Structure 1
Amino acid sequence: MNTREKLVSTTSKIIRKKGYFGTGINEILKSIEVPKGSLYHHFPAGKDELIIAAVLYGGEAQILKYGEALRGKTAETGLNAMIDVMSKELIDSNFEDACPIAAVALAAGNIDETIRKACDKVFKGWQQSLAGYLERRGIENTTEKSEQLYAMFEGAYILSQAHRDVKYLELQKKFVKVVLEA
């Protein structure tokens, strides 16, 4: 992994735990032991440019995890497996890791518009990917259903993290079938 990739990967990990405002350049640089000049060599616009790269990276990493959970399964079983991935991430991180995009998106209204657009791009990509998955399984109205499912899952993820209890994610399993059959 080269320096640029380390900067992006490390930033993605830190923003999951600390969000946009809690992620500091000095912490990132210290954790991978590179000088400040390396950051500006790879990201001339500084922190915001690095955050955008980390959001896109985190989005790609997350969609790969979800894809593995969904692969080869019926829609309902696959979506329940996707919820299991989210629950496992929270439990394994002792409820410290937020959704890699929501952690930044929550602050996006107070920061740069290009960061908000990067979050929007990732969320839309996830929704489109899920819509394609649902369509391949014979589900109708896949765009609306994928948007509804992600809204449910993101809300449940945030509540599960806040309450340190995955029951809010697990509760979504009751409604997956309802959404799919609507």
Structure 2
Amino acid sequence: MSPRRSDSRERMVRSAAVLLREQGTGGTSIDRVLAHSGAPRGSVYHHFPGGRTQLIDEAVRFAGDYIAGRIDTAVATDDPVGAVDAVFALWRRWLLESGFRSGCPIVAVAVEPHDDAPRLVDSAAEAFARWRAALTGLLVRHGVPQDRAARLAVLVVAALEGAVVMCRAERGIEPLDAVAEETRDLLARTLGAAPGTPSGPDERHLTQEQNP
């Protein structure tokens, strides 16, 4: 049975997000999105009157929301180390399953010039801000001062994204595992020193694969 025309918009957005992860912005063309999604060509400007720019922008927001949702799910456990653990595990699984082809679609957009479409960079910035806000709030609830929590959230996101880039370049998981371990140790020490924290986090290894 062929895909329903009514779901072609969602399939195109998802396909664009996947292509951004693997091909970057320059490689995410309308033709590739159509081939990947199986959507009919006539649906492009029906669903995306702004053309390729609108499609990529929506793919960035979709990817940002998806990862934020995984963070929010982990945050709901009220366990800062467990939340970061889950995010690292998610990226670890994606890298291994893709043979180190898949990076971050948000980074793919953020690092390329978009003078003719500044909204794309704005969407990437909004995604990073949402991830940081979720982590900051969780750390604050566990007694970490607001300013320190905000800095730690920036560090976690930046270290994670940098490790993903290194893993793709080296075609190995070691950079992510190293960053994960050091991040776990830093958070454990910070939370152990935070006022009102009854005990440190458990000793699960940060690189243990989990289902997000």
**TM-score (ref. length: structure 1):** 0.89
1:109, 1:29 → 2: CA distance? 23
Structure 2 CA distance for partners of 1:69 and 1:87, relative to 1, 3 Å: farther
Which sections of structure 2, spanning at least 5 residues, go unmatched? 1-5, 194-212
Instruction: Using the TM superposition, give the Cα deviation of residue 70 of structure 1 relative to its aligned residue in structure 2, in angstroms.
Output: 4.7
Task: Give deviations 1:11-55, integer Å, cap 9, x for gaps.
Answer: 111111101001111121123333333111111111011000000
2:185 counterpart of 1:177: yes
Equivalent of 2:100 in 95, 100, 109:
95
Equivalent of 1:56 in 58, 61, 65:
61
The runs of 4+ residues in structure 1 deviating greater than 6 Å are none
RMSD: 2.1
Task: Give deviations 1:117-163, integer Å, cap 9, x for gaps.
Answer: 11111111111111112222322221121111111111111111211
Alignment size in residue pairs: 182
**TM-score (ref. length: structure 2):** 0.77
Structure whose alpha-carbon radius of gyration is higher? 2
Task: Give deviations 1:69-109, integer Å, cap 9, x for gaps.
Answer: 45426323432332122111100111111112112212145
Match of 2:166 in 1: 159
2:81, 2:43 → 1: CA distance? 46
Match of 1:118 in 2: 123
Match of 1:149 in 2: 156
CA contact (8 A) 2:114 2:121 kept: yes
- Higher helix fraction (1 or 2): 1
